[in-house]
Amino acid sequence: MATAIDQLRVDLLSQVAAAASSAALEEVRVSALGRKGAITEQMKTLGQLPPDERRAAGQAFNALKDEVAAALEARKAGLESAELEARLAQERIDVTLPARPQPDGRLHPLMQTWDELVAIFGEMGFVIAEGPDIEDDWHNFTALNIPEEHPARQEMDTFYLQEHDGHRPVLRTHTSPVQIRTMLTQKPPIRIIVPGRTFRSDHDATHSPMFHQVEGLVIDESTHMGHLKGTLIEFCRAFFGIDDLPVRFRNSHFPFTEPSAEVDIGCSRKGGGLTIGAGDDWLEILGSGMVHPKVLEYCGIDSTKYQGWAFGMGIERIAMLKYGIPDLRTMYDSDLRWLRHYGFMPLDVPSMLGGLAR
Ligand code: DAH
């Protein structure tokens, strides 16, 4: 028995010494000490020995087990530190290398402005709503209390599509039809903004046939014109980044609001330029008002119980004002030089806390 144990000892210790990696060493451990390993298998034969020999052999096996376990442990520590050394050498980074170039793409100022609007109104608790670009006459005009003879409905202003099923589809002329779609499908309280594409038959330095608007709508049992004013004053000041920006509400008319107000911000036009926030002049930036009871009734909302307010503004217009872009048509020219000048870094996401512009 003693020679068999000696033989096993020499065998196992040389296997431990020969293992070239932690994984190979683990295989040696299992084949030596595992449940089906060499030592375990040999110990099973102890029962066949006479009692006096059995005792001595048992002790010898236990000693061998300890010795192999210690050899495994020592070899493991050696291999692991060698492997760590090798990894450290391989994964070394050269901190003296030049930085990787910044990505060359830019975010269009229109999309930057869109993100800023969403960030500001999002902080105020508004959620985004959407609707289709191709609308029907009823959502775009009728349900918004826009009468048949209103100029907005005329062929020369609106892109009509071919009549179909007795309806005349239109490319929506404003984002206001999403007010109707939301009130028809959601119960108050409602607090939405609607950024989106809009279309009119217009083309000059400040108008494009496809442009963008953002609509806002709040409906509940107690909201009032004070909330409209407070929200829009706060929005104008946050968007232009001027804490004391003068904001004025001027009496106006929209078929879907009563009363209606246009919102102007303070500016100066001295010397031919335009400076926002300073001076004694005014610049119109958006339309607003209390939702007309007829509009609520068209949407099945009880106008004796609920009331609300709405607003709408052109995204190109406020982007041009904020970023000093003189001609709207350049926004759609896809001129890379223009985009490099007016564009934003894509990961520079605006937020109320982090700031809204570089
Ligand atoms: N839809 C109007 C337009 O395109 C803008 C507007 C004005 C929207 C007043 C509103 C509002 O929601 O209350 O000219």
For a ligand 1 pocket test, name from 135, 294, 311 the mutation site with the most ligand atoms within 8 angstroms of its C-beta: 311
Q: What percent of the chain has pLDDT over 90?
A: 64
Q: CA–CA separation, 299 vs 35, rounded Å?
A: 77
Express each pLDDT in 27-64 by its tens digit. Answer: 999 998 888 888 888 888 888 888 888 888 888 888 98
For a ligand 1 pocket test, name from 215, 218, 296 the mutation site with the most ligand atoms within 8 angstroms of its C-beta: 215
Cα atoms in the Cβ-side hemisphere of radius 13 Å centred on 314: 18
The predicted pLDDT at position 135 comes to: 96
Q: Is 239 in the pocket of ligand 1 (CB under 6 A)?
A: no
In sequence order, what DSSP letters do the residues of 247-258 get, joined into one string?
A: EEEEEEEETTEE
Q: In the predicted model, is pLDDT for residue 316 greater than 90?
A: yes
| Token duo for residue 312 | 């709408």
- The residue whose C-alpha atom lies closest to atom 8 belonging to ligand 1 is 312
The predicted pLDDT at position 355 comes to: 64
Q: In the predicted model, is pLDDT for residue 182 greater than 90?
A: yes
Q: Which of 59, 6, 68 is nearest to 33 (CA)?
A: 68
Report in angstroms the alpha-carbon separations of 103 from 91, 99, 268, 334, 357. 25, 12, 38, 18, 19
Q: Is 312 in the pocket of ligand 1 (CB under 6 A)?
A: yes
Q: Is 311 in the pocket of ligand 1 (CB under 6 A)?
A: yes
Ranges of H-type helices in 151-270:
177-185, 225-240
Compute, in angstroms, the gap from residue 329 CA to the centroid of ligand 1: 23
More confident residue, 219 or 33: 219
Q: Residue 37 carries which DSSP code?
A: S
Compute, in angstroms, the gap from residue 174 CA to the centroid of ligand 1: 7
Q: In the predicted model, is pLDDT for residue 184 greater than 70?
A: yes
Close Cβ partners of 223 (under 8 Å, ≥ 6 residues apart) = 307, 308, 309
The predicted pLDDT at position 152 comes to: 81
Mean pLDDT lowest among 48-52, 133-137, 238-242:
48-52
* Average model confidence (pLDDT) across the chain: 91
The predicted pLDDT at position 101 comes to: 78
What sign for the dihedral angle of Cα 52, 55, 59, 61? positive
Q: Which of 29, 39, 36 is nearest to 69 (CA)?
A: 29
Q: In the predicted model, is pLDDT for residue 356 greater than 70?
A: no
Residues paired with 185 in a beta bridge? none
Residue 196: count other Cβ atoms within 10 Å of its Cβ.
21
Q: Is 145 in the pocket of ligand 1 (CB under 6 A)?
A: no
Compute, in angstroms, the gap from residue 313 CA to the centroid of ligand 1: 7
Compute, in angstroms, the gap from residue 122 CA to the centroid of ligand 1: 20
- The residue whose C-alpha atom lies closest to atom 12 belonging to ligand 1 is 311
